[in-house]
Amino acid sequence: ELRREVRKIRQQLQTAGQPLEAIKRLEEQAFNVKPAIDLPAGASPADVQLPGEKPNTFRLGERVWVLPLKAEGEISEITSVDAEIVVGRLRIRAKLDELEKRGAGAPEKREKSREPLPERGASPGLELDLRGAKVEDALEKVDGYLDAAYMAALPFVRIIHGKGTGALRKAIRDVLHGHPLVSKYARGDEKEGGDGVTVVNLVPNA
């Protein structure tokens, strides 16, 4: 289409007696022009995705799965590279490629206003290492640690007890079974330490 227009203009210029150099300059300028990008109806240039650019499909208020935490949360802030996620009463920042969508469709708008959250306690950390501890001392530490983790609104924690004879592991899991702050627990995966670690999911601090 562009070449036909140039040939048409060239014929007109030749008919009008324009110099050959002027015609060549016109051709060079015409073929150096980059074609415009056709925008969809109602779209602005900012909406156009450039080649190789990864689209940001996450939205404020959307429920997502946070891969590093292995927990579900809600997006409260978002940029082109990362987002702030509310997991229980814990707020964390994660890169967009560390998030996965939970379910299909746009997030529903919440009409009810949120009540202000109570002040959280200091985080005791995501791990409690009890290797080498006596059973009685270890159980006392577990109880206090779970209280602190719950007050800090941690979604889960890891208790490292080692493998050994299995006595410490059994005693700790007996305490976890039926504990009011524990929703479930399981052995760690191989990367976490297998039977030497117990991963504990806490009940929401609501």
The domain that holds 151 is classified in CATH as 3.30.1370.110
Which residues constitute the domain of residue 52?
A: 48-108
42 domain residue, yes or no: no
115 domain residue, yes or no: no
122 domain residue, yes or no: no
Any idea what the CATH number is for the domain that residue 98 is in? 2.30.30.140
Rg (CA), the chain: 31
Question: How far is it, in rounded angstroms, from Cα 60 to Cα 67?
Answer: 18
- Angle of helix 167-176 relative to helix 135-151, nearest 10 degrees? 40
* 189 and 138 co-located in one domain: yes
Residue 127 CB neighbour total at 10 angstroms:
12
Number of structural domains (the chain) is 3
Please choose, from the candidates 130, 141, 139, the residue with its C-alpha nearest in 3D space to the C-alpha of residue 164. 130
pLDDT of the chain along its 206 residues, tens only?
Answer: 556 665 666 666 555 555 555 556 655 655 554 444 455 555 544 444 444 444 568 889 899 988 877 778 889 999 988 888 887 666 778 889 889 987 544 344 444 344 444 455 678 889 999 999 999 999 999 999 999 998 888 999 999 999 989 999 999 999 999 898 999 999 998 888 999 999 999 998 76
Q: Which residues of 160-193 are buried (b: 16+ CB within 10 A; e: fewer)?
A: ebbeeeeebbebbbebbeebeebeebeebeeeeb
* 172 and 196 co-located in one domain: yes
